[in-house]
Amino acid sequence: EAIDALDALSFAWRGDGLELAVLRRLGELQLGENDLAGALRTFKRAAASFPQAMQNDDIPAKMTQAFAALFTGEASAKLSALEAIALYDEFRELTPADARGDRVLEAVVERMVELDLLGRATSLLESQVRFRLTGAVRAAAGARLASLYLLDGRPEAALKAIEASAEATVP
């Protein structure tokens, strides 16, 4: 009931600190109800309407945490592959820059493979291998990238992926 009331109020009252407070509380309630996508959309409205306030606010951190939970937490099992990819496309800028982000991107790649979006999956995984990952994780991602290229009928690209992800310290 509180979510419905605050949602209505968030559209009725606009433009000042009260709107930000309403959006913050609405997003927190949505997080509490495990409506991560709804919370992200609410927090995004707050960030768009009050960009200056976001510098000293915890909303950006909550958004990043909720985004990561969509793909690596319990909520990921409830999302269809299509919903997961749509949410990734909508909020990709929230991908954490740390190991959580690597796990998010790995999960997104697997969801793309489920839908036979091999071109998108290989593109995303290739950027992971080239720019984000190191060590054994990079070699494993390179092997996965090679397997996706083979599924896509591109054996030359598979060989290049294996060569590009080779790590001297990995057996």
Residues 6+ apart with CB under 8 A from 139: 165, 166, 167, 170
For residue 153, the model assigns a pLDDT of: 95
Please provide residue 158's backbone torsions phi and psi, each rounded to the nearest 5 degrees.
-65, -45
CA atoms of 22 and 18, how far apart (whole Å): 6
Q: How many CB atoms lie within 10 A of CB 25?
A: 16
83 confidence band (pLDDT: 50, 70, 90): very high
Task: Name the pTM for this structure.
Answer: 0.83
Query: pLDDT digits over 87-103, tens only?
Result: 999 999 999 989 999 99
pLDDT over 70 at 125, yes or no: yes
Separation of alpha carbons 36 and 67, rounded Å: 7
Give the pLDDT confidence of 33-52 residue by residue, as tens digits: 989 999 999 999 999 989 88
pLDDT of residue 109: 96
